[in-house]
Structure 1
């Protein structure tokens, strides 16, 4: 049975660091054991299996990302909050590409119930309240923003914008401006 506690937290953090180095998909208990200089069997006192390790890394990444985003948007509203939130995600993805990939990992129902995913949604909805959207419109907007942020970050990480003019940063700024304009002028329900 997997134990909780400081040693387990160190194992998960080491797994997250390994994900940033080699990619989240490449993280396995055996790869982590090699990184830590221990036998694979000794990791199983902290994680049940490869899926459990990835789930724990995903939960860590979601928590870190929520903390970063919350600090970024504190005291901000409107376009300023939207841009701060988006920049926090993009900056986190650049600094921690493996962890950002882990944050996209599909969690089972039990893990999802304990995750900070709800916190991300609440922060986004708090930003969207400044745009006077209905509850249903907020849901659509949360999905739109999540898609744009994740999609742009993924394409950028894959080098999709590395040799193009205008710069990736210039496009990012324009996209955030366009999202702000869309949110301020969200179409009425049909």
Structure 2
């Protein structure tokens, strides 16, 4: 085995590869080529390409959670909402493969042990500033996740590149609209 080859280095190389060629194209074979080693050398660090992808997803979730936490520090209300959204969007722009990996469906046990729980907690912390109680908080968490992921996915695919207004203007308007919606959250008609 090549000196210095660790699971962390293998996962990081996989994450870098995902950013370069796309998360769906990451394999143990491709990572082995990066290290100029035989595929078998990596199997003491990862079990399979699927295991490698799960580890990249966990790595990306942790990395993204750190960025979001840093962005949220000392903020509340709309400032916190914008900081969270911008940290997510900036991460996806800088690391498209990792952002894709962060959306990997994880089994229940792995999900509970991942930084995905921190993302949910941080989103709920933002929502406390809007005075939303359960179950409305859960609805709002899902709304925000869907809007952020949807907008960023469309933007990354080039959907907004050939039309006016500029995507930056639309992004600012989306955040304004989300803030207004969260401040004026509709009541449950069943109540």
Could you report, residue by residue, the CA deviation over 1:56-111 in whole angstroms, capped at 9, with x for unpaired residues? 00000000000000000100000000000000000000000000000000112232
Match of 1:123 in 2: 122
Gaps in structure 1 of 5+ consecutive residues? none
Shift of residue 159 of structure 1? 0.3
Question: Given the alignment of the two structures, is residue 142 of structure 1 paired with residue 153 of structure 2, yes or no?
Answer: no
SS class of match (2:6): helix
Which one is further off, 167-176 or 107-116? 107-116
The aligned length equals: 186
Q: How does 1:100-115 map to 2 (within 5 A)?
A: 100-115=99-114
Match of 1:72 in 2: 71
Match of 1:163 in 2: 162
Match of 1:182 in 2: 181
Query: Do the aligned residues in 2 keep the contact of 1:59 with 1:116 (CA within 8 Å)?
Result: yes
* Distance (Å, rounded) in 2 between the aligned partners of 1:110 and 1:47: 19
What TM-score, normalized to structure 1? 0.96
Match of 1:30 in 2: 29
Q: Detail structure 1 runs of 4+ shifted over 4 Å in the superposition.
A: none
* Distance (Å, rounded) in 1 between the aligned partners of 2:19 and 2:52: 15
Match of 2:86 in 1: 87
RMSD after superposition: 1.1
* Distance (Å, rounded) in 1 between the aligned partners of 2:13 and 2:72: 28
What TM-score, normalized to structure 2? 0.95
Shift of residue 6 of structure 1? 7.3
